[in-house]
Structure 1
């Protein structure tokens, strides 16, 4: 007899709502969709057309409900966390991993960032809640699924030490890239963390007085400095972390990540993941022909961030050896 599925099978929490004295979670029905889009929110946008999600009323739950239900639904095992500096191949890495049916690839889920930055919970409550949400996002919906891999937002590196306490045995990977290339990409099309005040400056340990003195290009360079400093700091204190360098080639990035995280795949699965590298990270129907901004001038002084990049490269060489 087939095991009866939980009433919330295929439902996942997607949003933390803090409304005056109320705290609750909004849920959405995934139907048969898998988390294979470049970003978590891309999949959620597709879900909204489903009849369950287009009703006038939304499914919501309390914190207590969510934690209770997370213990009732079967999930696959969390295997690795990916941190990155943005525009450094993280989407390509996550898309490569998502192409395997064995992986549940959670790529920059807003709900995780909301919980990490929320001030509504003490650390113990936040830790229980984060584990519950990750478990629900990684519920075992298909028989092939074995691994949860979590790619965080770039600024999550500033809470890497907290996440290490939460997941003491999980491999952490730090993906980075030549700073001029990262910043040229943001000059073309800025990410939200590279525009002042969308993400509070305090998240990056940037003061309001500093903020008022910086041009936009200088602000972007300073944010990148903060990322590189956080990478160097965390790598220096942690024993279960590796560096991944976009400039060594994405094939090397994928293979090193799989080896470091001790993930086991068939030759066929590996071939599928590497084949994904031939297409654009955000559109698998478009062939990737390289970045188109190599000749653009960087509009900020890169002396500090280049020095940090050189230190990371030196550490990376030792990490590979």
Structure 2
């Protein structure tokens, strides 16, 4: 084993160097991952003088070796989503619970899911990575919830082979509201050429931002529908939040009565900017949508959305 112990350390980056994959580790100690996104927790940790003075890099095999020496909590739930649809709210509500580890869109997981490693090596690395995130760094942790990037719905079959018994949900929203959000401030998967190969690519020419966003959103919803039907994902609409955390989502995440009350401490704040109060914006987004955007969303994304709603109702 390259290092005897990684207590307090978490993997923050995995990448190939001359055909060999490396892992970059950062010391977190017992600090919980309470930020809306994993990358924000990394930014905070890297400001610590210790992490500025000491860095730790290993081969990819160290993930598996550390798992064998110190098995972490296995994932208790996965959150997949269509983007801009309340997944951050959901993860931030769960992050209120002391016995939950919530890892939100960790870049190392995306890198392994979409990397070019041999299948067996990639699966072992993914299991080792999530074992590292599932370490009981404070001693009270009991559950690990992982929120993936939106485009990782394309890699769900791979992740499910690693964790076949872990329940998962797919969160989505009226596609017109999602599309307006990406027109205002596009996510990287809604910018041509930024993300690289993923399930959202259709290989066709596009005409303008409205066309590009609507088509990719349609493919994202189609993938979510396909996998919900095929592998038992729970379809959840943004309109159910946050109230569903006192109902069917409380059952899904196996929350007790006390925990169900605790998670609502985050419901009034803006999920991505916790210092701000949340203000509902669905109607504003619908009014803002141009006729062109409405037409493209209707053509590209309305059918899978309605099919998801039918599945949810059933």
**TM-score of the pair, normalised by structure 2:** 0.92
Matched, 1:84 2:81: yes
Matched, 1:58 2:51: no
Match for 1:95 among 92, 95, 102? Answer: 92
5+ residue gaps, structure 1: 1-5
2: CA distance between counterparts of 1:114 and 1:131? 14
> What residue is the counterpart of 1:47 in the other structure?
45
Whether the 8 Å CA contact 1:251–1:277 is kept in 2: the answer is: no
Mean Cα deviation higher: 169-178 or 21-30: 21-30
Whether the 8 Å CA contact 1:246–1:253 is kept in 2: the answer is: no
Match for 2:249 among 237, 248, 257? Answer: 257
Moved over 3 A (4+): none
C-alpha change, 1:125 and 1:22, in structure 2 (3 Å) is: closer
> Residues 53-94 of structure 1: CA distance to partner in whole angstroms, max 9, x if unpaired?
102x62100122221012222422310111000000000000
> What residue is the counterpart of 1:243 in the other structure?
235
Matched, 1:268 2:241: no
Residue-pair matches, total: 305
Match for 1:110 among 107, 110, 115? Answer: 107
RMSD between aligned residues: 1.7
5+ residue gaps, structure 2: none
**TM-score of the pair, normalised by structure 1:** 0.90
Whether the 8 Å CA contact 2:22–2:60 is kept in 1: the answer is: yes
1: CA distance between counterparts of 2:121 and 2:246? 34
Deviation at 1:270, TM superposition (A): 1.6
Match for 2:306 among 301, 305, 310? Answer: 310
> What residue is the counterpart of 1:11 in the other structure?
9
Equivalent residue runs for 1:118-137 within 5 Å: 118-119=115-116, 121-137=117-133
